[in-house]
Amino acid sequence: MTVPRALPAPHASSLDLGGRTALVTGAAGGIGRACALRLAAAGAKVRAVDRDATGLESLAEAARDLGGTVEPHVLDLTDLDAAELAAAGTDVLVNNAGIQLVRPIEEFPPDVFHTVLTVMLEAPFRLIRGALPHMYGQGWGRIVNVSSVHGLRASAYKSAYVAAKHGLEGLSKTTALEGAPHGVTSNCVNPGYVRTPLVEKQIADQARAHSLPEERVLSEVLLQDSAVKRLIEPEEVAEAVAYLCGPRASFVTGTSLVLDGGWTAH
């Protein structure tokens, strides 16, 4: 019996997403912006989803300068029905949007906990639910969930974020198991601290929570467990996302691609 090859010819590993539609959430800045530009540069038509209309327009302009196509979609992911509808007809889904608040559990506002879980876990579920019928119908799809080292490890004072990322890991694996017979892969990308506005905004909260001056937070809190003592750049995360969408990653599913500078090696 001859087993058909699932891989392209040797060395044909460039990412070509021409004719594909990709949806990226949290696309107006940080990791989401880098992912949207990377996928657009690979030829995908990118649906960029965010609440920040100004940031989305800037993204679309940057994509045009690269010769790519980005369609801005202003959307609050707490509108779960709208999120599911937005994902219909997509070939590539990148669940990236995230929010953060650093507080001890006894001081953590329940409404914020609920919002974090809605945006970072329930919305990805609804987006996946909206995307799968099209992916299944064509026998191909890529789902990449931007998790975090906090999907694998916990840190104090981040109960909502850690809970959401751990849940996202489980959702991603379940999606991988269900999607495999249909040619759909689902994976997580797990960066450490990334040079984004989300991380920059944490510094004051971390300083207060740990009773440290802000200038010591980066080295003594954020990067304490990282062997590589720097922040990872959004573009580095985007390259990992792109790899998981490419021809050489068809057998990679249900796993987590860790970009944590050695944090979890301890």
Q: What domains can be seen in the chain, in order of their start residue?
A: 21-260 (3.40.50.720)
Which one is predicted more confidently, 165 or 219?
A: 165
188 bridge partner residues = 145, 256
How many Å separate Cα 141 from the centre of its chain? 16
Is 157 catalytic? The answer is no
Q: What is the tens place of the pLDDT at every residue in 181-192? A: 999 999 999 999
* CA torsion angle 77 149 258 49 (round to 10): 10
Catalytic, out of 157, 161, 193, 243? 161
Half-sphere exposure in the Cβ direction for 155 (13 Å, CA): 24
Q: What is the tens place of the pLDDT at every residue in 26-49? A: 999 999 999 999 999 999 999 999
Residue 175 above 90 pLDDT?
yes
Tell me which residue of 210, 203, 197, 202 sits closest to 104, measured CA to CA: 210
Average pLDDT, the chain: 93
CA–CA separation, 191 and 100 (whole Å): 15
Residue 200 above 90 pLDDT?
no
Separation in Å, CA 148 to CA 223, 239, 264: 14, 15, 11
pTM of the model: 0.91
Task: Compute the average pLDDT of residues 89-103.
Answer: 96
Centre a 10 Å sphere on the Cβ of residue 179 and count the other Cβ atoms it contains.
Answer: 21
Q: What percentage of the chain carries pLDDT values higher than 70?
A: 95
Task: Compute the average pLDDT of residues 168-186.
Answer: 98
Residue 3 above 70 pLDDT?
no
Q: What is the tens place of the pLDDT at every residue in 210-239? A: 888 877 888 888 888 899 988 899 999 999
Tell me which residue of 175, 172, 113 sits closest to 148, measured CA to CA: 172
What is the model's pLDDT at position 212? 85
What is the model's pLDDT at position 1? 47
